[in-house]
Chains A and B, each alone.
Chain A
């Protein structure tokens, strides 16, 4: 059941930060609500202490997408539908568009927000792998100060991030990447619409004369939280792209995932699927 709540809708960021400053454990930011509201309804323990919700909907800077010289700034309460419709995001960060287009349904994407997705930090948060390969930075504010942190460091473990009760994610900063990068995103769910991801992979790659100059690989759902595979990335940089390299790096990725998750009942299915998926992604990207 949904408890008796106090619902506040401040119009300025500073007012929101004042409201969350006491860090009383009973106050939570509401940015969309597609996790919190059904979470209340099914009596999820994660939300049982909440008595006050502070909505972000009226704070203008949390809803903007804007271009700066070398980066694009995304307000933390931008919805997935707004990302999909943004020319800027389509131009510079196509994997993010591809990933969030597959989240939930039109109804969910019209409400759910980007920071809501990664602050909730479910293993299957589909915006996370593309944000990780784009080296997303998160700007966090409290009443007195602002700090920036890489999303990769911000995400700690399933349903847990660095965010303190007195803090709010205000913006996401994505550095524009070199136009010579190509990439792709893959999602495996049990059906197409409203499907919880089982496996997601995001890869971007830059090559010159068939040599890998840079590569970034991130997974979701199949690992406890969305994560980068930096060891494998470093291993691949400088290598010539050959069919053998695609096979051996796919095998390594499968092993890396097993190292993270340990052997599970589903491993026998998931590991070959990850390997094949990664191989197909690499093959498509390298043919570009």
Chain B
């Protein structure tokens, strides 16, 4: 079936098989392999993407269900050739080890920061409770998100000063 949607800011149309999930279409048809498949049943969060600004598991959405929606994958998070502050903070805070959970972690925390620019540690923990990381122990990830929130608030203060 034919679907039309916005992918990382660009309008796209594609003829997609009805049995494909969003993750299959992203990886196979668009070759956006930053979105990872872990558990395939909505428990690990490695396949998290944003659908109309909200974090969803792309293994729990059929490609046909995103007709008309806006999808953001990890490939659309960077700003031009530069990493976003959130991505850079993941690196500087040691929040990336094996890297398999990282795209999902970044998209879950990006959805949080877009809705809530001043999250508490508890709110950060809740936002990534659906993303498993077996390397870092989460502490570095939470620090990276916190640091990003502080940076963007500092930028806002500088702009208004």
CB distance from B107 to the nearest CB of A (A): 9
Q: Which partner residue on chain A sits nearest B130 by CB separation?
A: A105
* Interface stretch of the complex, out of B55-63, B77-85, B152-160: B55-63
6 examples of A-B residue contacts, CB within 8 angstroms: A37-B21, A104-B42, A105-B42, A105-B129, A110-B55, A111-B61
| Chain B residues within 8 Å of A, Cβ to Cβ | 1, 17-21, 40-43, 45, 48, 51, 54-57, 59-62, 64-65, 67, 108, 111, 126-127, 129-131
**A107 with B40: CB separation less than 8 A:** no
What total count of A-B pairs have CB within 8 Å?
A: 90
Residues of A within 8 A of B65 (CB): 7, 30, 33, 55, 57
> What 0/1 pattern do residues 193 to 215 of A give for CB contact below 8 A with B?
11000000000000000000000
**Contact (Cβ within 8 A) B18 A110:** no
Looking at A1, A4, A9, A34, the one whose CB has the most chain B CB atoms below 10 A away is: A34
Q: Contact: A107 with B48, CB < 8 Å? A: yes
Asked if B108 contacts A106 (CB within 8 A), the reply is yes
Taking the closest CB of chain B, its distance from the CB of A22, in whole angstroms, is 19
Q: How far is the CB of B26 from chain A (nearest CB, A)?
A: 15
A42 touches B (CB below 8 Å): yes
Contact at B62–A7, with CB atoms within 8 Å?
yes
Q: How far is the CA of A41 from the CA of B129 in the complex (A)?
A: 23
Give a binary string over A1-44; 1 marks a CB under 8 Å from any B CB, 0 the rest. 11111110100000000000000000000100110011001100
Check A7/B1 contact, CB under 8 A, given A38-B40, A108-B42, A111-B61: yes
Name the B residues within 8 Å of A160 (CB-CB). none
The chain A residue with its CB closest to the CB of B64 is A7
Contact residues of A between 153 and 172, Cβ < 8 Å to B: none
B67 in contact with A107 (CB, 8 Å): no
Given the known interface contacts A33-B61, A37-B61, the answer about A108 and B67 at a Cβ–Cβ threshold of 8 Å is no
Closest-CB distance, B29 to chain A (whole angstroms) = 15
Residues of chain A within 8 A (CB-CB) of B130 are 104-108, 193-194
